[in-house]
Structure 1
Amino acid sequence: MFKTEDNHDGKKEQVLYLVFGGELEDVTKRTIHNPDEIDVVGIFSHYSSAYDAWKKKSQQTVDNALMRYFVIDISNFHQHDMQRK
């Protein structure tokens, strides 16, 4: 079951977090060297679960200084209109 939160309109919205990682081009930037090799860990309905997954993957790759994992709140993503011309 996914978590929901009240938005400012009083409606319930689903809260989702994406955990993913990849090897960076440079440790001072967030540009992933090869986007085709992004490691998608998963989508989580609670931040604590996403954090735990992020921490586990980050610790597994601690020896690679260029490898980074991220937790992104995707609750407010925009659905693209597939029928646009």
Structure 2
Amino acid sequence: MSKMHLVFGGRVKDPRTLDFADLSQIEVVGFFPDYASAEKAWRAAAQRTVDDAEMRFVVVHMHRLLEPDLEA
């Protein structure tokens, strides 16, 4: 299985958390085959919204969610 990563983000209720204000407004940046390309996309999205403290983007390791036993 490839090590798929998802980058997404949106407006959060509190900048210290990942409690998104409106899930219908989540921006999906994309799916990426490796962490390096996911991190590059995450940095670009985060930089684009750097002046908005309530915008947050994250990288999710999809392969860990889909097959958690592989990490053991």
Distance, in Å, in 2 between the alignment partners of 1:57 and 1:36 is: 18
> What percent identity do the matched residue pairs reach?
36
What is the count of residue pairs matched by the alignment?
66
1:56 alignment counterpart: 44
Distance, in Å, in 2 between the alignment partners of 1:62 and 1:28 is: 15
Distance, in Å, in 1 between the alignment partners of 2:2 and 2:64 is: 9
**Could you list the runs of 4 or more consecutive aligned residues of structure 1 that deviate by over 6 angstroms after TM superposition?**
none
1:19 alignment counterpart: 7
Distance, in Å, in 2 between the alignment partners of 1:74 and 1:42 is: 12
Higher relative contact order (CA 8 A, sep 6+): 2
Structure 2: stretches of 5+ with no match in the other structure? 67-72
RMSD: 1.0
Distance, in Å, in 2 between the alignment partners of 1:21 and 1:37 is: 9
Larger Rg computed on CA atoms: 1
Distance, in Å, in 2 between the alignment partners of 1:28 and 1:76 is: 24
TM-score normalized by the length of structure 2: 0.86
2:26 alignment counterpart: 38
Structure 1: stretches of 5+ with no match in the other structure? 1-12, 79-85
